Structure 1
Amino acid sequence: MTKYFSPARTARGFTLVELMVAIAIGLFLSAVTGTVYLNSKNMFNYQDAMSRLQENARFAMERISRDVRMAGFSTCGSLGGSVANTVNGGTTNWWLNLGAPIMGFDNISTPPSMAPNAAPGTDAFYVLGVGGGDISVISHNAQAATIQTTQHSIKPGSILVITDCSQTSVFQMSGPTNANNNATNINHDTGNNASPGNCNKQLGANCPTAKAYTYSPGATVLQLSAASYFIAPSTNLNSGNSLWTCSLENQTGGTTACVELINNVEDMQVQYGVDTDADQSINAYLDAGSVSNWASVLSVRVNLLLATPPSAGNLSSKAQTYTFNSQLVSAQDRRVRRTYSSVINLRNRTK
């Protein structure tokens, strides 16, 4: 005989206790999974923010070091000695003051011209040197204000330095147009449309004195390099302060261009290693306000304070207390801050 089983008799559901146990286990697993996810997300955000912080600090120090090392340097060594500046304005423009190829400003209250909008209480400095490839002089016609050179791509309006190691002259290139980047001459005449222009076409003395000087074959032409570094408010909303630079690089209008290098750089403090007994070794590190002779500066110690961006959120469990420039500081938020320091020697000034 065939037996039939009724489904109603064999099917049974979960009891209330079983359902509650299953829900509890599910909630526990969800909580564990959510906690792991949030912790992983927070750890990723922290590591990403710290990686960017270190990357920004490395870039800032490399950029500053490049310019500081070359302060006052030319192919002959120092830019000092017999220097004739025939550019209108001369030392009234910070980027033409070759008598002081490095100079700093301490605890800024009124921003100097080389550090527009500088944040109060921060430091700033500028350096001058030469940059770009060396261009050899083939011949020089001082009367015609024309220098025959090897092929180059320099454009009119550029501020140039010519030197034969006994005489150095600074002038603004008046021509040729060099539209094809293959010119083989450089003019240093007056009357060009570029600003500020040359006070005369002679290269032997500072403006306004006119004194002829002819450079012999083998002299070198280079582009003047000038850069300032300072802390100023960021142009990005809610980003605090940034590291800025004003540079003469690639400029043909007789002025410097200021750009924002790195966001979230809250402060910069700078000390200068000075040689007080003329033995080419550092005797002390001083703030800019205590340096009486900038020609005695052999090195620069740069201290930067960087913070994680506000967009990264509160990455610290509580407000930090950190040491910057030998002072203990308590933060007002839970962003992470790191201090970075580097000592940079000026090329050819130290042993």
Structure 2
Amino acid sequence: MIISRDSRRGQFPGSGRRLGGFTLVELMIALVLGLLVIAGVGSVFIANKDAYRTNEALSQVQDASRTAFEFVARDVREAGSNPCGAANVASVLDSPSSDWLDWSQPFRGFDDVTDIDGLPGAGEIGEPVDEHALRLGKAEDSGIALEAVTGPRANITLESATSQISDGDILMVCDADKATIFQTTNYNSNNTTLVHNTGGSYTPGNLTKCLNHPVPQLVSGGNCTTLSPTSYLVVPTNTVWYIGTNAAGTRSLFRSRNFQSTAPVPEEMVRGVEGMEIEYHRSGEDVFETATQVDAVGGGWEQVDAARITLTVRSRGLNPSDPDFGSSTDRERLQRDFSTTIAIRNRLGG
């Protein structure tokens, strides 16, 4: 028996059942629904990726700002301090013209970083690229003990010979009452006597060999140095904080400081810090001022007891060709401003 098929109706005669399969319309509807599902999943993936980039970029700028403030705050709080705790500090250096040899102002701000000498020049790593800067002075323990005596000492005599001291080094001797900065004019690592005479070939040299206060002391003949038995030999340092160009060609927070007679050396501290603005508070005033405004006040820097620092921080670039390639949003760096106020510890009122 021959069975025929009704092609117009898509069913076998007498079967009462349509053939299986999808029509073109059904197929198109399925494709559209599939595309919608894929688009939804894709949008969720992209949103999660963007959220990750945003969180990563925020983490970068927050970590950079927190680290930068921690470094700077430590130096600001300790500005003008020394291991002896002496507040009466003077220098017998003969008219130092360099910012790195000036301890008359242990806390000093600048609205124009080019006013500071000794920083890296054009094209060098650490070249200043932003205007504001901060110079902070303090003294650090040298680890060199003086000879034990029962009464006032006339000269600086070490407990034992050391190779840590060289001719021309800038040092400080201090006790609980006073501190004096001077330059070593002669020291032999085989003996314990440290000479701090006037004259000689070292710059800036000593105005007087006397280390007592007040300074200068124009005493003819003899060595008028009288130090407490509990005196310390310490190392005064000046540190400048500023924004400079790093080895990758981007910006970083830099610290440059001198140590004894060495030239200041720039150190990259925190990468991604693009800018720094600093304002200063003087005791008894209700407003923060710029460095230029403080300069205009007689003894203004001696009155400053706090600084308000604002850092502009950017995350690392997303483009693999960027020297600081990293995470960011919309293939652009995320930038935020962070501010904090830091008090100078030894200038806080009782």
TM-score (normalizing by structure 1): 0.70
Matched, 1:48 2:56: yes
Q: Judge conservation of contact 1:127–1:228 (CA < 8 Å) in 2.
A: yes
Residues 1:29 and 2:59 are matched in the alignment: no
Q: Which residue in 1 is equivalent to 2:100?
A: 95
> Higher Cα Rg: structure 1 or 2?
2
- For the residues of structure 2 that align with 1:186 and 1:14, how far apart are their CA atoms? 104
The one-letter amino acid of 2:312's match is L
Number of positions where the alignment pairs a residue of Structure 1 with one of Structure 2: 303
SS at match of 1:148: coil
One-letter amino acid of the structure 2 residue matched with residue 112 of structure 1: I
- Given that 2:238 and 2:257 are in contact with CA atoms closer than 8 Å, whether structure 1 keeps it comes out as yes
Inter-partner Cα distance in structure 2 for 1:44 and 1:26: 27
- Name the SS of the counterpart of 1:227 in structure 2: strand
Distance across 1 between alignment mates of 2:20 and 2:169: 91
2:9 corresponds to: none
Is 1:170 aligned with 2:181?
yes
Q: Which residue does 2:8 correspond to in 1?
A: none
3-state DSSP class of the match of 1:137?
coil
Q: Distance in 2 between matches of 1:208 and 1:118?
A: 39
Q: In the alignment, does 2:266 pair up with 1:254? A: no
Q: Does 1:305 align with 2:312?
A: yes
Find 2:291's aligned residue among 279, 288, 297.
288
Q: Which of the numbers 218, 232, 245 marks the counterpart of 2:230?
A: 218
**Any idea what SS the aligned residue of 2:281 has?**
strand
Alignment partner of 1:315 out of 324, 329, 336: 329
**Can you list the C-alpha shifts for 1:101-122, whole angstroms capped at 9, x where unaligned?**
111111x2845216554335x2
Aligned 8 A contact 2:106 2:138 in 1? yes
Secondary structure at the aligned position of 1:138 is classed as coil
Distance in 2, matches of 1:26 and 1:66, equals 60
**TM-score, normalising length from structure 2?**
0.70
Provide Cα deviations, 1:255-309, integer angstroms capped at 9, x if missing partner: 211122223323211111113xxxxx45542111111221111111112122223
Pairwise CA RMSD of aligned residues? 4.0
Q: Which has the higher strand share?
A: 1
Deviations 1:235-255 (A, max 9, x none): 323x3x33222123xx45522
2:279 partner letter: Q
**Matches of 1:155 and 1:36 in 2, distance apart?**
65
Which residue pairs with 1:244 in the alignment?
A: 254
Partner of 2:172: 161
CA separation of 1:148 and 1:111: change in aligned 2, threshold 3 A? same
Q: Which residue of 1 aligns with 2:109?
A: 104
In 2, the alpha carbon distance for the partners of 1:259 and 1:118 equals: 12
Q: How far did residue 196 of structure 1 move?
A: 5.3
Q: Which residue of 1 aligns with 2:75?
A: 67
Residues of 2 paired with 1:84 and 1:252: CA distance? 14
